[in-house]
Amino acid sequence: MGTLDLLAGHLKEAALRNSTRILVAASRQNIDVLSTSASASILPALRVAIVEPHETIPDDLIGEISLLVVEVDPIDRASMQRISVIRAHHPNLLLVAAINGANVSLVRTLVREGINDVVSLPFDVDELLQVSLDAVAKRDAKAPQPVDLAPMVAVVRSIGGCGATTIATHLAADLASFGPHGRGAVIVDLDLQFGSVADFLGVKPRGNLADLLGVENRLDEELLRSVAVEAEGGLSVIAAPDAIMPLESVDTDDLLRVLTLLREQYDYVVLDLPANWTNWTLSAALAADAILMIVELSIPSLRQAKRRLELFRSVGIEGRAVEIVVNRVEKRLFRTIGVDDVAQTLSHRVLATVALDAPTVHTAQNQGALVGSIRRKSRFAVDLAEIGQQLRAGLLARSS
């Protein structure tokens, strides 16, 4: 028996064992090609329906099938929208797109819309069978397994402009270098309106956080990796949306699902939270192992920091989960407010201080680089490394 005959034999055997009920919905031309294929008989559970790419597929056609192969015309808006409608009405249905000449961008778009896999047109029965078996295997492999979640730290600002994003990006880069499983770290820019993490790290996002929200039934590792963009040193970035999003548009459960998946895929997760507080930002903070609050040596910063500490207490965030970092500390003898004043005013210990090094920090940000790559012995870089070490040895060690 030749190689092709052997492959066909294995496929036929697999098909006979496979109880997946398949419906192919495509144009008359493509259905005719499939129907006249001599090898179509190896798919005993196969049904076909002539439905043009722009037409609605009736629910009674879908019935009790477990896998739908649907023809997609990427230049027809109705055809693309049909995928979203099918997924919304049948969230557990395995969905395969049949496309003529698919490219990477189109496949990525279809995955976001809920497609499980893609086959080419005109139909090849062997490919159709193999894709159906792969889709079923992936579905079965998604049975919930207990997974240890990576440590997560939320970086919050006392006031806008206190340097929280700068510290968040450098902390994330430091943690990425010390991942216990070699999976690096990811920083999530949750500042939906003014996020600048991607700019600070000099990366061009392929997607953004908005691509991961509201896609409960399609959220998986593949979608996550299509959105995350890699910076240097094992650090990945989930960028803020390009367009300004209303803060109230985020569903808390959606966000927590995204964060849980990230914690399954990386060694550390860092959140750069916005200045404004909502239900979902508080939920993200509650889910974190550590909250790093960035303050400055100013009355407005300390006043707002105290209010945030009171807010945390009111929602059940333990004081020991919050660490205070004083940013932009100058080495001089006479200051109106000192580091000791911060601890006394906030009734909370100070974890660390970060030296003022404005010229180097501004240069690095303008170049989309980390301070350490501009000036390795910068006091700022040294201070951030010490903060990372203290967190790994302290709050983040609980989940390591």
Rounded to the nearest angstrom, the gap between the alpha carbon of residue 59 and the centroid of all alpha carbons in its chain is 32
Distance between CA atoms of residues 68 and 96, nearest Å: 6
In terms of phi and psi (left: phi > 0; alpha: psi -120 to 50; beta: otherwise), the region of 233 is: left
Average pLDDT over residues 340-346: 93
Q: Please report the pLDDT score of residue 399 as a whole number.
A: 46
Q: Please report the pLDDT score of residue 44 as a whole number.
A: 59
Q: Please report the pLDDT score of residue 19 as a whole number.
A: 55
Does the pLDDT value for residue 138 go beyond 60?
yes
**Edge to edge, what strands does the sheet with 22-26 contain?**
46-50, 22-26, 67-71, 94-99, 117-120
pLDDT band for position 4 (50/70/90)? very low
pLDDT band for position 189 (50/70/90)? very high
**Of the given ranges (29-33, 134-138, 255-259, 396-400), which has the lowest mean pLDDT?**
396-400
Question: Tens of pLDDT along 16-32?
Answer: 345 567 888 899 998 88
Question: Tens of pLDDT along 359-389?
Answer: 999 999 999 999 988 888 899 999 999 999 9
Q: Give the CATH fold of the 152-398 domain.
A: Rossmann fold (3.40.50)
- Long-range pairs for 356-365: beta carbons < 8 A, 24 or more residues apart: 356/328, 356/329, 356/330, 358/328, 361/163, 361/166, 365/166, 365/199, 365/200
Please indicate whether residue 105 or residue 385 has the higher confidence score (pLDDT). 385
Give Cβ neighbours of residue 46 (< 8 Å, ≥ 6 apart).
22, 24, 40
Q: Please report the pLDDT score of residue 41 as a whole number.
A: 55
Share of the chain above pLDDT 90, in %: 49
Does the pLDDT value for residue 198 go beyond 50?
yes
Torsion, Cα 136 142 144 145, to 10 degrees, reads 120
What is the residue-averaged pLDDT of the chain?
85
CATH 3.40.50.2300 fits 3-141, yes or no: yes
Q: Please report the pLDDT score of residue 268 as a whole number.
A: 97
pTM of the model: 0.67
Phi, psi of 323 (to 5 degrees): -115, 135
Question: Tens of pLDDT along 302-327?
Answer: 999 999 999 999 988 889 999 999 99
CB 55 within 8 A of CB 48: no
Distance between CA atoms of residues 86 and 88, nearest Å: 5
Q: How far lies 339's CA from each of 274, 298, 302, 391, in Å?
A: 25, 11, 11, 20
Q: Please report the pLDDT score of residue 16 as a whole number.
A: 39
pLDDT band for position 129 (50/70/90)? confident
C-alpha atoms less than 13 angstroms from C-alpha of 162 in its C-beta half-sphere: 32
**Of the given ranges (14-18, 26-30, 42-46, 222-226), which has the lowest mean pLDDT?**
14-18
> In CATH terms, are 3-141 and 152-398 the same topology?
yes
Q: CA angle, corner 379, sides to 374 and 384, nearest 5?
A: 90
Q: Please report the pLDDT score of residue 353 as a whole number.
A: 95
Buried b (16+ CB within 10 A) or exposed e, 296-334: bbeeebbebbbebbeebeeeebeeebbbbbbbbbeeeee
Sequence spans of domains, the chain: 3-141, 152-398
Average pLDDT over residues 249-262: 92
Does the pLDDT value for residue 174 go beyond 80?
yes
